[in-house]
Amino acid sequence: MVDLNNALVSSILTGYAGFTTSAGYVGPDYRVDHDISLLLPEIWCRMQIKERDADFLIAHGYLEKVSDFCFEGRTVLASRLGYRITGAFAERFLGRIFELPGAVFGEDMLRPEEQNLAQFAEGVDAIVAAQARVAKQYFEDGSVAAACPPLEALLHIMAHGHYKGMTADDEGVRSLFRRDAMLSSDWYRRRLRAKQSRDIALWTRHIESLTAVPELADRLEESHRQLARVSSPDYLNELEGTIGADPSLHHPWLSVPLRDYEAHMNSQAVAQLTPLAVLFAEALAATKPASVAILGVAGGNGLDRIDPSVTRRIHAIDINPEYLAAVRERHATLQGLELHCLDLAEEQAAMLPSDLVHAALIFEHAGVDRCLENALALVAPGGTLSVVLQLPSETAPAVGHSQVPSVQAHRNHFQFVDPESLTIQLESRGFHQDRTTSVPLPSGKAFWQAFFKRK
Ligand SMILES: C[S@@+](CC[C@H](N)C(=O)[O-])C[C@H]1O[C@@H](n2cnc3c(N)ncnc32)[C@H](O)[C@@H]1O
C-alpha cells in the first residue's frame, strides 16, 4: 500500500500520466512477446515531450477510450482497459521505427474485439475477476485504511464494483485524481504532518548529539534554527506539493485520523472517552497540581476539567501533530497550555518536571521502556504519577470492535501492561503507591488507576 500510494501520489502531484505496455495474447490471433513490448520505450524516446502528454494524445485521436459493452445480455466492463493506442498513433509514432507500421500493428490487433468478440469478453471478465480478487486482499488485511483517497475509491470499485454508489466514470471519483483535490485532502495533510514529525525527530536527534560536542557550537545553533523552522505550523506550507512521508510507515498512530480515533473511543463497543476524562479529573482533584504533563493527550480529552486558577502550566504531549493541532484549536483559551510533538517511546522528553504526570492508556501503545523513563523523569520532587491501564477482559477484545478501519488496522500494536509488575518497578524507583481503583466499563472491560507519589 505504501508503494502504491507513493507511485500514485507522485504521479498526481507532478502531472505524470501512466502508460503501460504488456506482453501476452492480443485476441486469439496474435501473441506479443517482450521483443515487441520492449520497443515501446524506444518509440517513447522518439516522441516530443508534448506528444507524450495523455491529454494531447486523447485530443488528437492517438489514444481512444475502451468502453463497456453489452454481450449476450450482460455488461462487459471493457473500460477497465483504460485508453489504447489507435491506428493514427501507429501511423504517426510507430512510423518513426517501422517502415510500414500498419503491417506490424493492424487494425484487428489494435482492436482485438474485432478478432473474436466472445473471447474478448471472456478476457475482460478474467481481468475484472483478478482485479476483484486482488483488491479484496486490501480489505481483508485492513490496509485499505492507509490508501490515498483516489486509490481507496479504485480499490472499492475493483472489489465491489462501486465507491459510495459511484463508478470510475463518475465525476465524484475522477475528481479525486486531480492535483488540487489531492493537495486539499485530509489524507495528504496527514502525510505532510508525518513528514513534519520525522523532521522534528531528526533535528532533535542532531541537537542531542551536537550538545555533547562544544566545538561544533555553530552547527548546534543552526540545528536549533532548523528545529524551530520544521516545528512551526508554516513548515506545512513549505512542504506542500512534496510527497511527504507515509504515516503508516512512520508510526501506527500517525495513520489514525483524530476523527476516527474519537469515533472509535466513543463507539458503543468501546465507550472509553468519558471514563478517561473522569479519571483525569480525579487525578487533578486528588493532587491539585500547579503543573501537569499529559502523556498521549490525543484530542485533549478531559482538558476542560482543568481549573486554570490551580493548574497554570499544562504540557500536552503526543506523537500525532494532527491531534495536537486539534488540542490547540479546541483549547485556545486555556492559559499555560504547551504542546509537544514527541515520540515518547523513542525520544527524550526535555520539558520541566510537573507536579502531576498523567499517563492514561499510553504504556499499552508506547511500551514501558523509554516511555516509562520519560514519565518518571517528568515527575517533580513530591509530585505524582497517575497511571491508567486497561485490564484484560475474558469477554471483550483488547481493542474493541468499533468498525473504524484505521484503528482496527493497528490493533496488534496494543500490549497489555501488568499493574502488579509496574507497581513493583515503580516502588523500586522511589515511588510509593498512594491509591488504586478499578473502574468497570460498559463494554465489560475495566480500567485500573493508581497514583504513585515520588518519595
Ligand atoms: C489511547 S490514546 C490515550 C488516551 C488519552 N490519554 C485519554 O485519556 O483520553 C493513546 C494516545 O497516545 C498517543 N501515542 C501513542 N504512541 C505514542 C508515542 N510513542 N509517543 C507519544 N504519543 C503516543 C496516540 O497518538 C494517542 O493520542
- Domain chopping of the chain, boundaries: 2-184, 186-247, 258-454
Q: In which band, very low, low, confident or very high, does the pLDDT at 401 lie, cut at 50, 70 and 90?
A: low
Q: For a ligand 1 pocket test, name from 292, 365, 414 the mutation site with the most ligand atoms within 8 angstroms of its C-beta.
A: 365
CA angle at 223 for the pair 217 and 225, rounded to the nearest 5°: 110
Which residues on neighbouring strands pair with residue 449, listed in sequence order?
Answer: 388, 437
Q: For a ligand 1 pocket test, name from 279, 362, 386, 445 the mutation site with the most ligand atoms within 8 angstroms of its C-beta.
A: 362
Mean pLDDT of 310-334: 92
- For residue 19, the SS3 value is coil
pTM for the whole thing?
0.60
Ligand 1 center–CA 376 separation, angstroms: 17
233-270 confidence digits (pLDDT tens): 899 999 999 999 987 666 778 778 888 899 989 888 88
- For residue 7, the SS3 value is helix
Q: Whose CA is nearest to atom 13 of ligand 1?
A: 296
Share of the chain above pLDDT 90, in %: 62
Mean pLDDT of 24-49: 84
437's enclosing H/E stretch is strand 431-440
Q: For a ligand 1 pocket test, name from 190, 253, 406 the mutation site with the most ligand atoms within 8 angstroms of its C-beta.
A: 253
* pLDDT score recorded for residue 404: 67
Are 57 and 46 in contact, with CB atoms under 8 Å apart?
no
* pLDDT score recorded for residue 53: 93
* pLDDT score recorded for residue 31: 86
Ligand 1 center–CA 192 separation, angstroms: 20
CA dist 77 → 66, 257, 315, 415 (Å): 9, 35, 56, 46
Does the pLDDT at position 412 exceed 80?
A: no
Distance separating alpha carbons of residues 147 and 2, to the nearest angstrom: 8
CA dist 434 → 310, 342, 391, 447, 452 (Å): 21, 29, 19, 17, 6
For residue 64, give the nearest of 38, 88, 45 by alpha carbon. Answer: 88
Average pLDDT, the chain: 90
CA dist 405 → 141, 144, 259, 363, 410 (Å): 10, 8, 12, 22, 9
- For residue 240, the SS3 value is coil
Does the pLDDT at position 276 exceed 90?
A: yes
Q: Whose CA is nearest to atom 12 of ligand 1?
A: 296
Distance separating alpha carbons of residues 147 and 24, to the nearest angstrom: 30
Give ligand 1 pocket residues (Cβ under 6 A).
253, 276, 280, 296, 298, 301-302, 318-320, 323, 342-345, 360-362, 365-366
* pLDDT score recorded for residue 58: 97
Question: Which range has the worst mean pLDDT, 48-52, 91-95, 226-230, 410-414?
Answer: 410-414
286-300 confidence digits (pLDDT tens): 999 999 999 999 999
Does the pLDDT at position 409 exceed 70?
A: no
97-137 confidence digits (pLDDT tens): 888 888 888 889 899 999 999 999 999 999 999 999 999 98
* pLDDT score recorded for residue 250: 67
Q: Whose CA is nearest to atom 11 of ligand 1?
A: 296
Question: Which range has the worst mean pLDDT, 13-22, 214-223, 403-412?
Answer: 403-412
* pLDDT score recorded for residue 269: 83
Cell numbers given for 15 = 502531472
Ligand 1 nearest-atom number relative to CA 323: 27
DSSP-H helix ranges across 186-305 = 186-211, 217-231, 235-239, 247-250, 258-266, 273-287
Share of the chain above pLDDT 70, in %: 95
* pLDDT score recorded for residue 172: 97
355's enclosing H/E stretch is strand 354-360
Distance separating alpha carbons of residues 44 and 52, to the nearest angstrom: 7
174-213 confidence digits (pLDDT tens): 999 999 999 999 889 888 988 887 888 788 888 888 988 9
Between strands 354-360 and 63-65, the pairing is unpaired
Ligand 1 nearest-atom number relative to CA 346: 19
Which residues on neighbouring strands pair with residue 357, listed in sequence order?
Answer: 293, 385
Does the pLDDT at position 226 exceed 90?
A: yes
Ligand 1 center–CA 315 separation, angstroms: 14
* pLDDT score recorded for residue 374: 95
Does the pLDDT at position 406 exceed 70?
A: no
Ligand 1 nearest-atom number relative to CA 360: 6
Q: Whose CA is nearest to atom 1 of ligand 1?
A: 361
Domain topology for 258-454: Rossmann fold (3.40.50)
